[in-house]
Structure formats: C-alpha cells, structure tokens
C-alpha cells in the first residue's frame, strides 16, 4: 500500500478528532442528534475508506502501520450513517485480529457499536449513553456478570474503571463549563 494512503488515513482521523473537540468545546456536543458537520465528515471518510478497502483490503498493521490502522478502525467506528458498511468492517476486523493485524480492543469497540446500533446488547461494555442527569452509563450488556473477563481477555481495563474514567471526564467538562 502506498505510504500516502497511510498518511491519508491518519489525516482523516486527525480531522475527525479535531472537529469532535471543536464541537464539544463549543457546547454543541453531546447532542441528541447527529451534528451535520460531524455527519458530513464521517460520510466523506467512510467513502474514502470504502475505496481503500476495495483496492487494498483492510488496512491492517503490516499494510499501513499502527497509527493508520487505528485510523481505519476509527473511521469504521464512526460510520453510523452506513450500518451495512460497519458490519462489513466488523468482518474485516475479525479476520485482522485473528491474523494479528489489529488489536482486540478495536474489535470489541466495533462489535459493541454494531450491536447497540442494531438494538442488541453489547458484549464488551464499550458503548455508553447518558442517564437523566447527563452522567455516563453503559448501554445494556449481554452476560454482565462476566463482562470484565471478556474485557481482560482483550487487554482492556474493567468496566468499573472505564466508567470511573468517563465520569471523571464529564466532571471536568462540567467544571470547565462552570468556570467559563
């Protein structure tokens, strides 16, 4: 795969994260609707990732390197306007993880995203919503008593640790908003 493809993937991820931060800092996120600027960027990135996969296959570690492979995962993770493509990427990612071409945590996040968007319970507890007070709460989890075992098998922290991290992030966001 040409090095420019890896650079392009990393640039798309940086653009995604920059826009996310801008919208978050402007108080436009979180929102109950898909922000039009975010949607447009995600759809543009998905279109390009489809072309890359069509030409080169899934951009795994040996093809594009760690950062660009992470970017491909993030673009797939944010392909919420195209659930069929997300499911297709899940298949590519399952194969990549089996070959050692992607870390298992990426599979956990994408699998949970695909499942929650289709109304199913998640497996790894990676997807969160907010409660009535605006605090993070995990979306429903299949077999919740063993979720931490599944997370640990992929090198992830416990659900309780992740929830504490997200709660602290929300607490800091609220503190910044009060000071502004």
What is the pTM assigned to this prediction?
0.91
CA distance 10 to 7: 5
In angstroms, the Cα distances linking 150 to 104, 136, 139, 158 are: 11, 21, 16, 9
Residue 121 CA to residue 74 CA, distance in Å, equals: 21
Cis peptide leading into 95, omega within 30 of 0?
Answer: no
Question: Any idea which of 8-12, 19-23, 162-166 has the lowest mean pLDDT?
Answer: 19-23
Q: What pLDDT is stored for residue 29 in this prediction?
A: 79
Instruction: Tell me the C-alpha distance between 125 and 104, whole Å.
Output: 14
- The domain ranges of the chain are 1-102, 121-180
Q: Give strand pairing partners of 130.
A: 136
Judged against a pLDDT cut of 80, whether residue 130 lies above it is answered with yes
Q: How confident is the model at residue 1, as a pLDDT? A: 61
Residue 128 reports pLDDT greater than 80: yes
Residue 110 has pLDDT above 90, yes or no: yes
């Amino acid at each position: 795969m040409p090095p420019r493809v890896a650079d392009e993937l990393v640039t798309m991820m940086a653009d995604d994260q920059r826009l996310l931060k801008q919208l978050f800092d402007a108080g436009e996120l979180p929102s109950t609707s898909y922000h039009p600027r975010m949607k447009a960027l995600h759809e543009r990135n998905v279109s390009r990732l489809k072309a890359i996969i069509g030409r080169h296959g899934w951009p795994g570690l040996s093809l594009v390197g760690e950062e660009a492979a992470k970017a491909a995962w993030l673009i797939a993770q944010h392909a919420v306007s195209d659930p069929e493509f997300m499911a297709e990427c899940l298949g590519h990612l399952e194969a990549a993880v089996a070959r050692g071409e992607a870390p298992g945590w990426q599979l956990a996040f994408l699998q949970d995203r695909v499942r929650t968007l289709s109304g199913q319970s998640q497996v790894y507890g990676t997807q969160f919503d907010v409660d009535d007070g605006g605090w993070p709460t995990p979306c429903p989890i299949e077999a919740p008593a063993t979720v931490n075992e599944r997370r640990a098998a992929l090198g992830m922290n416990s659900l309780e640790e992740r929830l504490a991290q997200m709660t602290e992030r929300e607490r800091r966001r609220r503190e910044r908003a009060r000071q502004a």
